[in-house]
Amino acid sequence: APSLTAEQINMGVDWLSKFGYLPPPDPVTGQLQTKEALTKAIKAMQRFGGVEESGELDEATLVLMKTPRCSLPDVNESETARRKR
């Protein structure tokens, strides 16, 4: 698969945080996501969105991320935190 640009990865991480698949980055430490956490979040988003669960920011996933949508998160923070715990 064509390699993703840093911009696409950033967009992806922002999107996952915005809609509840990743905890929001800590404004002070700018907490970085581990590869494992990122893959899990992408899979959760793919499962919720009905696209193949590749765990990668593939074409279909990027298209879904660009689809107009409701602002509310799909997963609320407490659930994400619980998963993190």
Partner 1 sequence: TLTTPSKWSKRHLSWRVRTFPKESHLGHDTIRALMYYALKVWSDITPLNFHEVAGSEADIQIDFSRADHNDGYPFDGPGGTVAHAFFPGDHHTSGETHFDDDESWTFRSSDAHGMDLFAVAVHEFGHAIGLAHTSAIESVMRPYYQGPVGDPLKYDLPYEDKVRVWQLYGVRDSVSHMARPDMTRTAEPPVLPDLPENRSTLPPARDAPDRCNTDFDAVAQIRGEAFFFKGKYFWRLTREKHLVSLRPAQILRFWRGLPINLDSVDAVYERPVDHKIVFFKGGKYWVFKDNNVEEGYPRPISDFGLPLDGVDAAFVWTHNDKTYFFKDGLYWRYDDHERRMDTGYPKDVVLWKGVPALLDDAMRWLDGASYFFKGTEYWRVKDNEIEVEAGYPRSIGRDWLVCTEMQSDSPATHTNETRSRQGQKQHQESRSENGYEVCSCTS
DSSP state of 14: H
- Reading the block at residue 10, the tokens are 């950033």
Minimum CB distance to partner 1 smaller for 47 or for 84? 47
Which residue carries 């298209």 as its tokens? 63
Which residues would be at the binding site for partner 1 (CB under 8 A)? 19, 47-50, 64, 66-76, 79
Q: Which amino acid is at 66?
A: K
The distance of closest approach from Cβ of residue 35 to partner 1 in the complex, given in angstroms and rounded to an integer, is 24
The distance of closest approach from Cβ of residue 27 to partner 1 in the complex, given in angstroms and rounded to an integer, is 14
CA atoms within 13 A on the CB side of 83: 14
The distance of closest approach from Cβ of residue 46 to partner 1 in the complex, given in angstroms and rounded to an integer, is 10
Minimum CB distance to partner 1 smaller for 3 or for 67? 67
Q: Would you call 7 helix, strand, or coil by DSSP? A: helix
Minimum CB distance to partner 1 smaller for 2 or for 27? 27
